[in-house]
Amino acid sequence: MAIEVTEQQADHVSAAIRVSVPDKGLKQDLRAVSIVWRRELIRFRSDRLRAVTSLVQPVLFLFVLGTGLSALASRGMPSGVDFKTFIYPGVLSMSVLFTAIFSAASIVWDREFGFLREMLVAPVSRAAIVIGKCLGGATVSTFQGIVILALAGLAGVPYDPVLFLTVIGELLLLSFTLTAFGVMMAARIKQIQAFMALTQMLVMPLFFLSGALYPLNGLPTWLTVLTRFDPLTYIVDPMRHAVFSHLNIPPGTVAALSPGVTWAGWHVPIGLSLGIVALMGATMLGVAIMEFQRTE
């Protein structure tokens, strides 16, 4: 009798397994990537305050600093370009910088509030979770960049579809790399205060050393060297190149304001610049995946 019951139970159990066991492998991992990505979007949509506050700083830089300094800067600048237009690509990357890092910070929150555990005990590869997180961060921060991009006219940048697609592509690349960087750090840093302090310490130097606010030529050697080590440099320059190529300005002005990145006199092509950012992103993604794969 007891055996009968057990067998009956076993039948029910196996019926339940047929429902529960998913297709193993890529399809299942893609579904996990997709849901982790979508969660970032849902959370971003419900957090309007964050969306608004992270626009404050780029807008301040572009319109307050940009307008305030344009009279002063115009004396030293070749004719035909507004200072706001000049710093516009830098401001775009800045808007992405904050949102991307904050997206990664949500991993630290998730750990603190337990939700990370729900993700880490799931029968999917940790890579799927980390990739989903990075794609999510990249999407929401690119979206923030697009909001600033909508203000292009106010900075004297034309609404040109090709230019916009180029810049959006570059923002996406930057966002992904920055989120991967943040996620990599979030794997190690368990406290939100420590994470915030560290990012605050890193964000401003990254921005100031990127050539967002000044051209990359004619700098003292120490600053030249530092700018070449800043990953942001390799995205601000291609973006500025894209913006300038859609403006009617004399070649002399372009050469003075958008000289391109050089390594000991060698001009780094745009493709290589973007390649460097992509490689950094991929490397940091790889490290982040490895960090999260270690068993507790």
Which CB atom, from 21 or from 201, has the smaller least distance to other proteins?
Answer: 21
Q: How far is the CB of 30 from other proteins (least distance, A)?
A: 10
With respect to other proteins, which residue has the nearer C-beta, 13 or 264? Answer: 13
Distances from the Cα of 150 to the Cα of 41, 76, 92, 169, 220, angstroms: 20, 28, 11, 15, 35
- When binding is defined by CB under 8 A, the residue of 79, 118, 220, 221 that contacts other proteins is 118
Q: Are 239 and 93 in contact (CB under 8 A)?
A: yes
Q: Is 156 left (phi over 0), alpha (psi -120 to 50) or beta?
A: left
In 3D space, the residue among 107, 169, 184 whose CA is nearest the CA of residue 138 turns out to be: 169
Cα distance between residue 173 and residue 180, in whole Å: 11
The minimum distance between CB 122 and other proteins, in angstroms, equals: 4
Q: With CB under 8 A, what is the number of residues at the site for other proteins?
A: 37
Q: Is residue 4 involved in binding other proteins (CB under 8 A)? A: no
Tokens describing residue 241: 């190149």
CB 127 → other proteins: shortest distance, Å?
A: 13
What is the maximal distance between C-alpha atoms in the chain?
A: 98
Could you give the CA distance from residue 240 to residue 82 in angstroms, rounded to a whole number? 13
Q: Which of 60, 64, 113, 204 binds other proteins (CB under 8 A)?
A: 113
* Segment near other proteins (CB under 8 A); pick from 61-69, 110-118, 191-199, 219-227: 110-118
Q: Per CB under 8 A, which of residues 13..42 are in contact with other proteins?
A: 13, 16-17, 19-23, 28, 31-32, 34-35, 39, 42
Q: Least distance in Å: CB of 289 to other proteins?
A: 16
Q: Got the DSSP string for 115-156? A: HHHHHHTSSS-HHHHHHHHHHHHHHHHHHHHHHHHTTGGGGT
Nearer to other proteins by Cβ, of 110 and 170: the residue is 110
Residues near other proteins, by CB under 8 A? 3, 6-7, 9-10, 12-13, 16-17, 19-23, 28, 31-32, 34-35, 39, 42-43, 46-47, 110, 113-115, 117-119, 121-124, 295-296
